Structure 1
């Protein structure tokens, strides 16, 4: 989430890592040359941080021990086989998975009978993921449809240490003491819940001969969905996946947003800068063909803020620096043959600390460049999609979640509607 100045002060410092961890995947899964894999769901990992009043508690600092962790996700594209990806990018020790399952979701923590599959890693039911690395399961035969919900359960027999996670999950994650990976009933998971994701960074599908690849939505809290209804899958990438499915466009959508993320500056609380994490969170996605770049509002809005309790200071930025950052992402994507859609920076009038004439001028200059330079393969004018016609620097009231920066469900739908599906 992109947070006001007084809220940032509630966070405490966490340890620094010298470079983005887990970029090179140390996969425990065997290569599968019989199928083309595509990302159907994702959550960009970041380092553990304490819970807070607005995101709620999380389990990232303590991790897990002799516990089962159950996570429910809604996928975007279908197939006949599935596999999961796990990240220990910010772990302090090897992550030992004592067992894992995947199934179609029932209500809450329940599983649909007859759909439970045991996951294997290199043909084994256990896996060890080195600190700083990632792992991928073997394929599991499980026919799934677009927009279907899947449940992944991990069992940790021994302490994991701090958990690589994704804080602003807008979902319900469950944990229970003991090994309950094969429980189809939800009873064991009735006690403890969280709204974050842990270790699970992606789900891939294969087996659809008409699949056309993956679209990655790369950004900050607006991409991550802050401001939309929790548990409703109303983030703008969710709505985009619905549009693609309705149009029979067989493209997966992976959400690579991190709340509070910046394009040019690392944060101990909100992830490595976009320039650094682009390789892991975009280029490493299987089957990626298009990326939507929607970054820069936090570089701009927090520019000049001091270091609030260990999250990292935010230097002032110019339009030229932000444009140079966008050009670097475009060049990196084009070198891999990936289409790049540039999204304009959305309104921020009325949001504490972001709303100044100087910052508004930079936003206007960057948006003018995105619209007119031709550097991007296509443009999604998200600024105009959300702007109040009477006050163009402000969100349209019907799209405002209440803080004058993050769109609500209607605003997320407007963002998805502003993207031309033909450009993807």
Structure 2
């Protein structure tokens, strides 16, 4: 079943109106970035609690936390004299009581360099209560950081939280301890680990010059990259910017499995529904790179709770979804860059043996990519498909971007070398 075109157009129009309307919270325009302005330095897009979208995956989101300390290590993409953190209770059913938070420079594993450990306050209080559906931003913390520094954010929650707002596939390690270990710089008590992030949705720095948001699905999120190595394509873009001397933050707003037009119980709200909080409401955003659509095209082949609804979509509907994001970004003074949809031939889950169905999917992908390249509606284009595609079989990933530890990959998620090629394909001059 396909979504009727007139209904899709009506949904897109309503979404654009909601995104362009004045936000509930003040948005920091790119033009105000400077010595006294906040800039996003790290981000994670939040998801509702779920078992996780990958086969055999586990996480702590559904059980939540009681008398637990969580230590989460993130790498900031740009530096500043002070920082602040953002915590989200977007999908909580009840207010989230955060007893206290600390931040410091990360050591090995769950350890923190003791001399850098700082308390984090919220309106000068050591803890905070975040209403269901809301977000909290901390006070400024005097902890100077440089681009590519790693910081540890440690949260202690004493009272039961209920199911937790989280980000499923972090490609990083979160550590958990029983009891209050906010001020403990050692790793000893942190005996449990998870590959997801919980509540932590952003780290901002004071005095940055602006940021770029990478907005998309699993390839943006970093699925398939080496865990703990910060080799997602946004990470490698941040390394290029740092090496060039450009003080521009890079915020990863990818969610594995995410779609442009439909929500998922496991893979987040659709792109238009989350675009405000993951792009427009971030401080100092100057540009956004959008790569969405592959899951909309392929999910009709899947029949799982995570893939529902899995109605077929047309190229015209996907293009209208992209146009909604373009108009919303421009209404907020943000430059919008289109990324073409990558190849996926050979993927064991998404590439069927039925040639007619295969050809129909490829025709849709080709039509959307043609519009991104030639339609003139994006401010700039980065051609991820051509960078990643095998020149001898353009519907397939280059073999050298598919292997991991000598083994064949899934022909969908690029390895670290492929993700680096994506980062190198971006013209840094288009990001301002």
TM-score w.r.t. the length of structure 1 is: 0.90
For residues 275-331 of structure 1, the C-alpha deviation after alignment (integer angstroms, 9 at most, x for no partner) is 11001100011000100000001001113644x236522111111111111111000
Please show how residues 19-418 of structure 1 align to structure 2 within 5 Å: 24=24, 35-51=36-52, 54=55, 56-189=57-190, 191-207=191-207, 211-303=208-300, 305-306=302-303, 308-309=304-305, 311-355=307-351, 356-401=358-403, 402-418=409-425
Partners of 1:303 and 1:57 in 2: CA distance: 25
Contact kept, 8 Å, 2:347 with 2:411, in 1: the verdict is yes
Aligned length: 394
For residues 158-207 of structure 1, the C-alpha deviation after alignment (integer angstroms, 9 at most, x for no partner) is 10110000010011101111100011111111x11000000000000003
2:427 equivalent in structure 1: 420
Partners of 2:88 and 2:114 in 1: CA distance: 28
For residues 100-149 of structure 1, the C-alpha deviation after alignment (integer angstroms, 9 at most, x for no partner) is 00000000001112101100001100100001110000000011000000
Secondary structure in structure 2 of the residue aligned to 1:331: helix
Contact kept, 8 Å, 2:51 with 2:57, in 1: the verdict is no
After superposition, the CA RMSD in angstroms is 1.9
Partners of 2:206 and 2:300 in 1: CA distance: 43
Secondary structure in structure 2 of the residue aligned to 1:255: strand
Secondary structure in structure 2 of the residue aligned to 1:352: coil
Give the superposition deviation at 1:92.
1.0
Contact kept, 8 Å, 2:51 with 2:266, in 1: the verdict is no
1:7 equivalent in structure 2: none
Partners of 2:54 and 2:332 in 1: CA distance: 41
Partners of 2:410 and 2:115 in 1: CA distance: 45
- More helix as a share of residues: 2
- Structure 2: unaligned runs, 5 residues or longer: 1-17, 27-33, 352-357, 404-408
Partners of 1:55 and 1:377 in 2: CA distance: 40
1:15 equivalent in structure 2: none
- Structure 1: unaligned runs, 5 residues or longer: 1-18, 27-32
Q: Detail structure 1 runs of 4+ shifted over 4 Å in the superposition.
A: 23-26, 51-55
Partners of 2:56 and 2:324 in 1: CA distance: 32
Partners of 1:24 and 1:194 in 2: CA distance: 33
Partners of 2:64 and 2:196 in 1: CA distance: 12
